[in-house]
Structure 1
Amino acid sequence: MKDTVISTATIRMSIIEAGKGPLVLLCHGFPETKYAWRHQIEALARVGYRAVAPDMRGYGKSESPERADQYTVFHAVGDLVALLDALGERQAVVVGHDWGATIAWQAALMRPDRFRAVVALSVPMMGQPPVPPSQIFPQDDSSLFYTLYFQDPNEAEAEFGRDVALTLRKLIFAASGEAGPRLPGDSTPNPFGMVSRSTGLLKSLPEPATLPDWLPALDFDRLVKDFEVSGFRGGLNYYRNLDRNWELQHLTAGLPITIPALFMIGERDTGLSVPGMNQIIAAMPTLVPDLRGSHVIPDAGHWLQQERPNEVSGAILSFLECV
């Protein structure tokens, strides 16, 4: 794999790439970097695809705009289009996980001329809610939903930055398949659930004695070093634009995604503990008429492409053969 920094029309982006052939663009989520796709890049390159994974804006060695309002999904999709141009490519299949999945869905919706198919992991395509997200997320006197906790840089940013390795160890383990099943009402600590106003997010999460087998120490150390350099502000800024995204996305509200699509989620994904998530997944064909599959990967948690690399790579390759 080749690791380079490329200048685009929007920002400088750090990318890893391998292979030659039709382009597949892989977008990571929070708190990850481009190396979350290391297994898929190798699998795609082996069978004749050009696989490119960028550090999204605000992550790793990619540029981090200072203002929080520069992290909308419109900025992120613009970055992907600019990256295609910089790579000399007209079209790509876009693959995303977590926030990368949200961005991939929006890329498919906004620019079907540039993205010919879409694969999303962990986050389904959702319709436009009637009110801004901040009015939907729960909170009370003692706790608030994690997306609300992420809004204040004096809270989450400061907490996460005190010990980067500990933060990542706790977040990754708690959202992994190793942490246990995820069902509505499950009492298993969820990093993407409710957060205590008095103690913050990390205190309630277990600290694993060892890293999961799918995350070797060298790969974890690389992740820690990347966040020690970039900090968490860029990644958290995506959450700070949820209401702004809602306002801007009235432009595309009601439009279907017309390109071929594939969805995957882990059986133990933390997102499945959100009330109504299974209904949202079941309703996706109304928003994505050419949805070619919606797969639940047994025993896997949120970090799907790392926890079950062979299954994910195989499903992507099978999908690509048909689009």
Structure 2
Amino acid sequence: MTETTNFKRRHFLNTAALGLVAAQMGLLTSANAASSGTSSLSTAAGISPGTNCFSDIKQIKAGLLDVGYVDVGPAHGIPVLLIHGWPYDIHAFIDVAPILAAAGYRVIIPHLRGYGSTRFLSNDTLRNGQQATFTADMVAFMDALKIDQAIVAGFDWGARIAATLAALWPQRFKALVSVSGYLIGSQEINRKPLSPKAELQWWYQYYFATERGELGYRANTHEFARLIWELASPQWKFDDATFFRSAKSLDNPDHVAISISNYRWRLGLAPSEARYDELEKQLAKFPDISVPTITMEGDANGAPHPDPKAYAKKFTGKYAHRSVNGGIGHNLPQEAPQAFAQAILDVAKLI
């Protein structure tokens, strides 16, 4: 099933309602709210300005990490785990969280390893960014929070992580919303060359494979990230405040190491860690996903992404794909928060 949403015309919450919800839930702080004398939310598509931030970052020890995360909404609500991608952060969901919280859901948004206030518990732990590390991190995180079951949703790296969780633990992750669909990969499949045009889109993957690339990303992390934002979402006119709100999370001391490791591992240039071998073996079989799923794609996604027809058969349960129109790029939750939140509300009805 394929659905098309015109984001510029269809809203299920208007700007004023979203601002009221955010204020009531205490989700946001604003650098200029005290002196502005106006609503803290802009009038453009219900998207809040970059001066609004999550106000309460919690920390919990989980597995190898001390995880920084946001936890908003009713404590006894159905948990929804939202997972960000690279090079973004938890503020990709700044306008999604109040919508879901107002609907009675408990919204949990962790910083991935290498982002924000998340830190490794030991200096001796390998700064590994291979696929299965994030999967294991999220399971440990949910265990630490004593959450047995949740809906999971994400984009970019977060969509891949969400898909691995739904595929391997369907008893725990009861429904899935995934931007760009089925992104589970393996080193073996990544050894196969793509067409020259497709390879061009992965230019930064090859840059990161070099020592020059690692040094360049370390020296120019913010500039590099902003370029990725612009290329991946060519019609998204984000301002400086919106970018820098998330760019601060990239100042994490492990961010560069995790990013470089992730892309080198994909190309087979970095070894797998033995503790994750069993997980990678399961993921390399490209398991079907049986839980109810909605996949999404923006009409202006400038990042590499598969055709929805190529992965539809991987979802064997209740399934729908939604195309979101209106110049929506790669960071769909932040560019089209109402559409993303609505997909979560709708997939919950299919459980």
> Which residue of structure 1 aligns with residue 219 of structure 2?
162
Match of 1:8 among 62, 65, 77: 62
Contact map agreement 1:90 1:114 (CA 8 A) in 2: yes
> Which residue of structure 1 aligns with residue 316 of structure 2?
289
The whole-number CA distance in structure 1 between the counterparts of 2:252 and 2:131 is 24
> Which residue of structure 1 aligns with residue 7 of structure 2?
none
Task: State the one-letter code of the partner of 1:166.
Answer: E
Q: When the two structures are superposed, what TM-score results if normalisation uses the length of structure 1?
A: 0.77
1:263 and 2:286 are equivalent in the alignment: no
Matches within 5 A, 1:1-323: 1=27, 2-20=56-74, 21-64=77-120, 67-68=126-127, 70-122=128-180, 124-125=181-182, 131-137=188-194, 145-146=202-203, 148-152=205-209, 154-178=211-235, 212=237, 215-230=238-253, 231-242=255-266, 243=268, 249-252=280-283, 253=285, 255-271=287-303, 277-278=306-307, 281-298=308-325, 299-323=327-351
The whole-number CA distance in structure 2 between the counterparts of 1:163 and 1:147 is 13
Shift in Å, 1:291? 4.5
Shift in Å, 1:58? 1.6
C-alpha deviations, 1:176-232, integer Å up to 9, x for none? 1417xxxxxxxxxxxxxxxxxxxxxxxxxxxxxxxx2xx454332222222234443
Distance 1:150 1:316, change over 3 A: farther
C-alpha deviations, 1:10-43, integer Å up to 9, x for none? 3111101201201100111110111211111111
Distance 1:14 1:153, change over 3 A: farther
Cα RMSD of the aligned pairs, angstroms, is 2.9
C-alpha deviations, 1:92-139, integer Å up to 9, x for none? 1111110111111111111112111111113x2157679441342567
Task: State the one-letter code of the partner of 1:319.
Answer: V
Percent identity between the two aligned chains: 24
The whole-number CA distance in structure 1 between the counterparts of 2:192 and 2:250 is 31
Task: State the one-letter code of the partner of 1:316.
Answer: I
Q: When the two structures are superposed, what TM-score results if normalisation uses the length of structure 2?
A: 0.71
Distance 1:168 1:144, change over 3 A: closer
Runs of at least 5 residues in structure 1 that lack an aligned partner in the other structure: 180-211
The whole-number CA distance in structure 2 between the counterparts of 1:67 and 1:320 is 37
Runs of at least 5 residues in structure 2 that lack an aligned partner in the other structure: 1-26, 28-55
Shift in Å, 1:255? 3.2
